[in-house]
A and B are shown apart, each in its own frame.
Chain A
Amino acid sequence: MSSNSQDLDAIVGQKYRHGFVTEIEADTVPPGLDEDVIRLISRKKGEPQFLLDWRLQAYRHWLTMQPPHWAHLKIAPIDYQSISYYSAPKKKDGPKSLDEVDPKLLATYEKLGVPLHERARLAGVAVDAVFDSVSVATTFKDKLAKAGVIFCSFSDAVLKHPELVERYLGTVVPYTDNFFATLNSAVFTDGSFVYVPKGVRCPMELSTYFRINAANTGQFERTLIIADEGSHVSYLEGCTAPMRDENQLHAAVVELVALADANIKYSTVQNWYPGDENGVGGIYNFVTKRGECRGANSRISWTQVETGSAITWKYPSCVLTGENSVGEFYSVALANHYQQADTGTKMIHIGRNTRSTIVSKGISAGKGQNTYRGLVKILPSADGARNYTQCDSLLMGDRCGAHTFPYMEIKNPTAVVEHEATTSKIGDDQLFYCRSRGISEEDAVNMIVNGFCKVVFKELPMEFAVEAQNLLSVSLEGAVG
């Protein structure tokens, strides 16, 4: 998502899409990547020297790297020189009111239960026409400021809180980490920044605010969340409404830092354009998400519902450094039509008595391929570490696939590691049972799939859980029968 208006216009219709190809905006850097482009990005954003230096280091490192290959993903080669790495938010002539928006899109929002006041924003209605959300956002801002929580765009944080950015940026995902994270480090343009001070319990789910005030932050998004000692924060990323955009490659980086006794809950609902039913188009979602439980007794919990994107490659991970720290990963990943999802987690146990839980639910339909890839690594220092992993796959039809690759590296004899895996098909018997009770086939499929995902949905904040269920049913429409 290279800018707010691009993204939203792409949702609204075809017109803009064609216009976009020929139109050249003054504020868009021509395609291609070299050190000058990076200097330009940094200068345009008024960044301090340390950040420019960091970007350049990342870029120089990136030049030495090769794009990765995976056994179960088919990816057409990506031309990194054809991407435009900077484009300033542009104001476009969006629809003036909901009356001008494609009724089909509105019908989808209706099904998803997107609140009325958000539909307008999502559909790209000019923001100044949406009075509701503006006032709501202001209220939230006041409330957060009172609690001392910093929640702003990454660019703002760089300007207003450079010391925090410098101290924590790249400390969980170093710029050398992997091909896409390194590229992101060199060229990221924006993202979100959260700092929760010592002992503060963030007074709201950061979603509500985020969803209303979301600045679409580009295809190389960077998020940094720091929970200081004893603080609590719950952050919701994404939106259940279908987000279409023209940027095929998304390579975001999310870093979480939990200090002693801190608690971070990070929930994602990802519903980007998956391509059509023939596998044409769709987003490549190559994300690096990692959290470090840096202090004792800290906890990081990842919950994700992944239903979009043509290709998803993502492993939200926890580095459990602090003693008694806890890492959790709850995931529902759906691959329908020609979608490919390769997702999982890494739990790196370093501190004593660290614990991790992994629950992964993969759903494959159509010709979708769903892969769980997870690593549990227990270092010699991690006395008494424990892990529990559960990977379940649900298949719909006989042309899809489910694959499970659990890796374990146990270097401490006191560790206890458990792994359970199941693969099941939505049985004809189950469907018939429901239908013979008067329930339609579509409702029966939804019911069975939601039952399968229940333990993960339970981890989502309430209002999100309901939307996630609706989202799954929309994503699975026509998957059976």
Chain B
Amino acid sequence: MLSIRDLHARIGTRNILKGVNLEVRPGEVHAIMGPNGSGKSTLASVLAGRAGYEVTKGSVEYLGLDLLAMEPEERARAGLFLAFQYPVEIPGVNNAYLLKAALNAVRKQRGEPELDAFEFLALIRDKMKLMQMDESFLNRGVNEGFSGGEKKRNEILQMAVLEPKLALLDETDSGLDIDALRVVASGVNSLRGPDRAIVMVTHYQRLLDYIEPDVVHVLSDGRILKSGDKSLALELEKRGYDWVRQEAAVA
């Protein structure tokens, strides 16, 4: 589904990604872990198409498409979803309005009929129950005045509504208390399925207690140094990242 090959990217003159290779198949859940500044969020941003990053080398194939040649909205319509680390506030733009526009853009691409306001409301009410969100969310401005936890929940709500094929979760666990983390995790888990892949970027093993990954990668200094199963995350929790770096240096 997603093949990242020798991906190099920079911001300005600063090289951040220095040869990332990653293969993600449908149904898989990957966790990308790594210390601060290792390039985790950059990877998510480059995949989603955020401006300001220059890809200097390498390729990304997504469902047979050249992902890097696509505009951000084309990527989204093709089923890519990024749950933001810091969701931005858009004052005055109704949450439901944005979501309905987004859903209909995606549905149009899939060749499905657009939903009218009633059909949309019925759909979103279901999804909101799942995320334990109050209906008043719908009429508030996008992320306007939301707490950190509310913003993250809202991201997963959007994911639930848009039903992406590939979801990138950028530090979705940061800033969440344990209750909120549970809600968010159960939302994500309910979206796991044989046709959907999830790539989580995170600092902490904590999230992986709730969303169990199939593969764990260690990203450090712009490269994936080590991959393994869930036990790798536990080992990282215990031993930190230095040993992985040393191991890589020896190899």
- Residues of A participating in the B interface, judged by any CB pair closer than 8 Å: 427-430, 432-441, 443, 447-448, 450-455
Contacts and interface: CB of A to CB of B under 8 A. Distances in A.
A441 to B, nearest CB: 7
B73 A441 contact: yes
Task: State which size class the interface on B falls in.
Answer: 20 to 34
Contact of B76 (A428, A438, A448): A438
A69 B138 CA distance: 48
B90 A430 contact: yes
A81 B141 CA distance: 53
A454 B72 contact: no
Nearest to A424: B91
Interface in B22-67: 48-52
Given A433-B87, A435-B71, A447-B98, A452 B92 contact: yes
Nearest to A433: B88
Contacts of B90: 430, 433-434, 447-448, 451
Interface stretch (B102-110, B178-186, B197-205, B231-239): B102-110
A interface secondary structure, majority: helix
Contacts of A429: 88
A453 B90 CA distance: 12
B121 interface: no
Given A428-B51, A433-B84, A441-B73, A447 B97 contact: yes
B83 to A, nearest CB: 10
B38 to A, nearest CB: 22
Given A432-B51, A452-B92, A447 B101 contact: yes
B102 A451 contact: no
A436 B72 contact: yes
Nearest to B91: A451
27 contacts: A429-B88, A432-B51, A433-B84, A433-B142, A434-B90, A434-B98, A435-B72, A435-B73, A436-B82, A437-B98, A437-B99, A437-B102, A437-B105, A438-B73, A438-B105, A439-B105, A441-B71, A441-B73, A447-B90, A447-B98, A450-B92, A451-B90, A451-B92, A451-B93, A452-B91, A452-B92, A455-B92
A452 B81 CA distance: 26
B207 to A, nearest CB: 21
A459 to B, nearest CB: 14
Contacts of A433: 84, 87-88, 90, 142
